[in-house]
Structure 1
Amino acid sequence: MSSYPFWLGGVAASMAAACTHPLDLTKVRMQTVESAPGAHPSMLHVLQRTIAKDGVRSLFTGLSAAIMRQMSYSLVRIGTYEKAKQKLSEKGKPSSGKLLAAAAVCGGLGGIAGNPADILLVRMTSDSIRPPEKRYGYPNAVTGLVSLVREEGLRGLVRGLEANTIRAILMNASQVGSYDLFKSRLLGSQVPGVDYHFQDNLVLHMVSSCLSGTVATTICSPADVMKSRIMSSNDTHNPILLFTRSLREEGPMFLFKGWTPAFIRLGPQTVLLFVFFEQLKKAWGTVHPAP
């Protein structure tokens, strides 16, 4: 087996994020707009309103921050997980529990590494729906990072770190960990009612990623909503106070705002992520064959 660079997962994730960014933007806007109890604007409504107000190109607002996020958050979480899997496999096939634990730890590391870029992504994608006096106006991720440090200091870089790290732990375990689990369980099994056995191909990747996407979206939604609200806020909200206020004003379902676009985004993104990742590994192995 030829080795491949640590950063390859970040490149694959960036490619996938570029394809699914409009859905990520819609998800963040659904999560950060506070509404009356029982009022939950649909994904289609938010998409239509965004296009009508700012045009189709606005769906890619904040793309530079999305790329910066993937080249920090996903680069670390995928790179360290792949190295951990390789290390665990040296002593035989690792158990599902060990893989999930490794995915959780690596996800936490990725959440810490990607926190500044995550703040920029949330702020840039939700900026146009904020009152003019509360907008950040970051033209791109690099200038946004400079502005963040200049205006809020180094402490601004860790805003929402607790919620983001918890989400990253849950995401990596429930997405990457469960993807490996579903893939290994389905491989070679027969599709009910159909004369077809799963093979290691795109069909298996799509089914496994959709299942893992459902699990990941549901488990991560509460932490994802809280992370988005903390990071998009101009004020220094205490997470507990923010949670209790949102719960009181909007009801418990606010924790699942943006679930639909998050799921629609996460399924294809997971498929694209692993397809791109496998192809990049294959291409790297061709150009740099193992000795």
Structure 2
Amino acid sequence: MAVEERRIARWYFGGLASAGAVFFTHPLDLVKVHLQTQQKVEMGAFSMGVKVVRNEGALGLYNGLSASVLRQLTYSLTRFAIYDSLKNRISEGNNDKPLPFYQKTMLAMFAGAIGGFVGTPADLVNVRMQNDIKISVDQRRNYKHGLDGLYRVYKDEGVRRMWSGSSMAVARAIFMTFGQVALYDQYKQMLIQSGYFHDTISTHFTASFLAAVCATGMTQPLDVMKTRLMNAPPGQFKGIADCVVYTAKSGPMGFFKGFFPAFVRLGPHTILLFIFFEQLRKNFGYKSQVQKT
């Protein structure tokens, strides 16, 4: 009976990898937020990006970066930590056999729900900081950075306001974690089991690309709703249903505003996330001895 040495990801690798990826994809996320907060389709992704650069300079595309990083260090760190910890524990108790897909799905949705709730305050500040440059100077919130934004929301609007839009954030996180994490895990397993792929960057790239396509399609309507609820001034919407009706007035495609930049952002972000994650796992993960029959 042979013994194989494997590298297992540490619980915080998902948060670090996602925070690293966001440095490359934040401008696309900012453009997506600007598009989603339009009630009428005034311009496309490229025109919106040009407008931001013209009005704020190239660094305007990185407005709210600190909040975006903070979001990944709460939301993504939590969901990856829960998913990987539970998956590894269940697998170890089952002679290190891969989990069936339905178990991965259940774990991912549970992890996503917790991560979405934990990450809502940072997500709210992230949306506001990205959208700040779009509104008139006298209405801007002017948060200095992510932590300042959290403190200002708590001080000026109260604790409950910090979780404004949490229902949409949790719903989106459930589907996002399923689409990203569980499907990536499953695609990677299927590719390696085919015999044509191995535990290499090309496999990680292919599996993450396929997962990004699925995740974008499933989460875009929820992402639009989440963005609007978080960016709305107090009292604009009575609840989720009111926001749905308001968005529906612009037609069915109103729920898919920013779809192209969302995919353009989510694709590279998902690919970079898992490439960084796998490199962290392979180089800095803890060692595990597995018996192969």
- For residues 197-220 of structure 1, what are the alpha-carbon distances to aligned partners after superposition, in whole Å with 9 as ceiling and x for unaligned? 333322222221111111100100
Does 1:224 pair with 2:226? no
Q: Kindly state the Cα deviation for residue 226 of structure 1 after the two structures are TM-superposed.
A: 0.3
Q: Kindly state the Cα deviation for residue 133 of structure 1 after the two structures are TM-superposed.
A: 3.7
**What residue is the counterpart of 2:265 in the other structure?**
265
- For residues 118-169 of structure 1, what are the alpha-carbon distances to aligned partners after superposition, in whole Å with 9 as ceiling and x for unaligned? 0000000011112334321112111111110011101111100000000000
Counterpart-to-counterpart distance in 2, 1:96 and 1:282: 23
- For residues 36-79 of structure 1, what are the alpha-carbon distances to aligned partners after superposition, in whole Å with 9 as ceiling and x for unaligned? xxx36321111111111111111111000011000000000011
**What residue is the counterpart of 2:118 in the other structure?**
113
SS across alignment from 2:284:
helix
Would you say the 8 A contact 2:7–2:282 is kept in 1? no
Counterpart-to-counterpart distance in 2, 1:56 and 1:290: 46
Question: Which of these residues, 127, 136, 139, is aligned with residue 134 of structure 1?
Answer: 139
**What residue is the counterpart of 1:81 in the other structure?**
83
Would you say the 8 A contact 1:40–1:257 is kept in 2? no
| Identity between Structure 1 and Structure 2 (%) | 35
**What residue is the counterpart of 1:202 in the other structure?**
201
Uncovered stretches (5+) of structure 2, i.e. residues with no partner: 1-5
Counterpart-to-counterpart distance in 1, 2:280 and 2:205: 18
Counterpart-to-counterpart distance in 1, 2:89 and 2:73: 23
Q: Kindly state the Cα deviation for residue 272 of structure 1 after the two structures are TM-superposed.
A: 1.1
User: Where do 1:224-243 residues align within 5 Å?
Assistant: 224-236=223-235, 237=237, 238-243=239-244
SS across alignment from 1:9:
helix
- For residues 224-272 of structure 1, what are the alpha-carbon distances to aligned partners after superposition, in whole Å with 9 as ceiling and x for unaligned? 0000000011123222112102211x11101111111111111111121
- After TM superposition, which residue ranges in structure 1, 4 or more long, deviate above 4 angstroms? 1-4, 288-291
> How many pairs align?
279
| Stretch of structure 1 that moved more, 127-136 or 20-29 | 127-136
Would you say the 8 A contact 1:134–1:234 is kept in 2? no
**What residue is the counterpart of 2:157 in the other structure?**
152
Would you say the 8 A contact 1:217–1:262 is kept in 2? yes
CA shift in 2, pair 1:200/1:33, >3 Å = same
Q: Kindly state the Cα deviation for residue 282 of structure 1 after the two structures are TM-superposed.
A: 3.0
Counterpart-to-counterpart distance in 1, 2:206 and 2:283: 24
CA shift in 2, pair 1:82/1:219, >3 Å = same
Q: Kindly state the Cα deviation for residue 188 of structure 1 after the two structures are TM-superposed.
A: 5.0
SS across alignment from 1:59:
helix
Counterpart-to-counterpart distance in 2, 1:49 and 1:42: 10
**What residue is the counterpart of 2:275 in the other structure?**
275
**What residue is the counterpart of 1:193 in the other structure?**
none
SS across alignment from 1:198:
coil
Higher RCO (CA-CA < 8 Å; seq separation 6+): 2
Q: By percentage of residues, which structure has more strand?
A: 2
Does 1:28 pair with 2:30? no
SS across alignment from 2:98:
coil
**What residue is the counterpart of 2:212 in the other structure?**
213
Counterpart-to-counterpart distance in 2, 1:177 and 1:154: 32
- Amino acid corresponding to residue 211 of structure 1 in structure 2: L
Counterpart-to-counterpart distance in 2, 1:4 and 1:230: 35
Question: Which of these residues, 47, 51, 54, is aligned with residue 53 of structure 2?
Answer: 51
- TM-score if structure 2 supplies the norm length? 0.90
Q: Kindly state the Cα deviation for residue 3 of structure 1 after the two structures are TM-superposed.
A: 5.6
- Amino acid corresponding to residue 276 of structure 1 in structure 2: F
- Amino acid corresponding to residue 98 of structure 1 in structure 2: Q
SS across alignment from 2:234:
coil
Does 1:103 pair with 2:108? yes
Counterpart-to-counterpart distance in 2, 1:218 and 1:40: 23
Would you say the 8 A contact 1:62–1:141 is kept in 2? yes
CA shift in 2, pair 1:93/1:198, >3 Å = closer
SS across alignment from 1:64:
helix
- Amino acid corresponding to residue 52 of structure 1 in structure 2: R
